[in-house]
Amino acid sequence: MRELVRTGKLGRITNVRVWLIADYNSSPLGPLTWRASREKAGAGVVPDLMSHGADLAQYVVGRIASVTAATDTFITERPIPTKLGFGHSGFEIGDERGPVENEDYVSMLVRFDGGVIGTMESSRVSVGPRAEYVVEVYGTNGSARWNFERLNELEVCTTVDGGPTHGYTRAMAGPAWGDWSRYQPAIGTSMGFDDMKSIEAAQFLKSVLTGEQLAPSTADAWCAAEVDEAVVASAADGQWHDVPRVQGNTTFDA
């Protein structure tokens, strides 16, 4: 998708849609974990989920320059755990309840450098989606769509004629896609999330050994955090907020 954007095959990019919707916390009986604590987590779904969508959108399209956002908390209290778990499971709860101190939903408009408009949304309490992480990029000559739940597939449309074959073509991951051939013998055999993590680790180690930035940098993380800060500030006052530029090499500038 990044290559389609950067080489101009989609034409002038006009708008982007990103959402990361999950239901891991959709039950009101879900435990009151550190994620709901303002002292321990700060904001809620903004840094928890939305930051991933903003980071990926920047990698594909470019830097987010300004944001305006609205947040809400749909489940305002939860049972206090009597036994701690790990991640999102293994908790035991009692009858006592406590307040959820941060947001569990965010919706935002963004402007990228160069004027591209984006809409982004995240929720951790939407019933149904398990990890629906979707990026859609639209241009004057075509568009592309990707969903984390089907992470080995990319939907691409590069025709605008409206003819009988007009629409999306499904491109499946294969040997031409990064390190795919190191893991799978043939197209149609999918890579998994853990495979991606081993690739990330290898990129990090190679970056350290060679001195060349091959993986996302600290500056990338910093920039995503600045987007988070601007979103939280905008949700508080209802205004547009500029996202400060960060120092360092970022992958979206490469």
**Tens-place pLDDT, residues 227-254:** 999 999 999 999 999 999 999 888 887 7
Q: Is the pLDDT of residue 209 over 90?
A: yes
Lowest mean pLDDT among 151-155, 162-166, 228-232, 245-249: 162-166
Q: Count up the domains in the chain and report the number.
A: 1
Residue 94 lies in a domain: yes
- Cα-Cα-Cα-Cα dihedral sign, residues 19, 20, 25, 26: positive
Residue 163 confidence (pLDDT) = 81
Task: Confirm whether 98 is domain-assigned.
Answer: yes
Q: Which residues pair with 147 in a beta bridge?
A: 134
In a domain, 84, yes or no: yes
User: Which of the given ranges, 44-48, 218-222, 245-249, has the highest pLDDT on average?
Assistant: 44-48
Mean pLDDT of the chain: 93
Q: Strands 169-172 and 143-147: what pairing?
A: unpaired
Q: How far is the C-alpha of 205 from the C-alpha of 175, rounded, in Å?
A: 23
pTM of the model: 0.91
Q: With 90 as the cut, is the pLDDT of residue 3 above it?
A: yes
**Other beta carbons within 10 Å of 217:** 17
pLDDT digits (tens, 9 = 90+) for 84-137: 777 777 788 888 999 999 999 999 999 999 999 999 999 999 999 998 999 999
Q: CATH number of the domain that 176 lies in?
A: 3.30.360.10
Give the DSSP per-residue string, 52-101: HHHHHHHHHT--EEEEEEEEE-SS-EEEEEEE--BTTBS-EEEEEEEE--
Encode 161-208 in three state secondary structure.
CCCCCCCCEEEECCCCCCCHHHCCCCCCCCCCHHHHHHHHHHHHHHHH
Across the range 24-45, mean pLDDT stands at 94
Q: How far apart, in Å, are the Cα atoms of 38 and each of 32, 42, 96, 229?
A: 12, 4, 19, 14
12 burial (CB, 10 Å; 0-12 / 13-18 / 19+) is exposed
- Is residue 138 a part of any domain in this protein? yes
Residue-range definition of the domain harbouring residue 195: 1-242
Q: Is residue 69 part of a domain?
A: yes
Closest residue by Cα to residue 110 from 77, 155, 61: 61
56-84 residue pLDDT tens: 999 999 999 999 999 999 999 999 988 87
By DSSP bridging, strand 13-21 and strand 132-139 are antiparallel
* Domain membership flag for residue 116: yes
Q: What is the per-residue pLDDT for 4?
A: 96
Q: Please, which pLDDT band fits residue 186 given cuts at 50, 70 and 90?
A: confident
pLDDT for the residue 216:
84
Is the Cβ–Cβ distance between 20 and 124 less than 8 Å?
A: no
In a domain, 229, yes or no: yes
Q: Is 250 part of any domain?
A: no
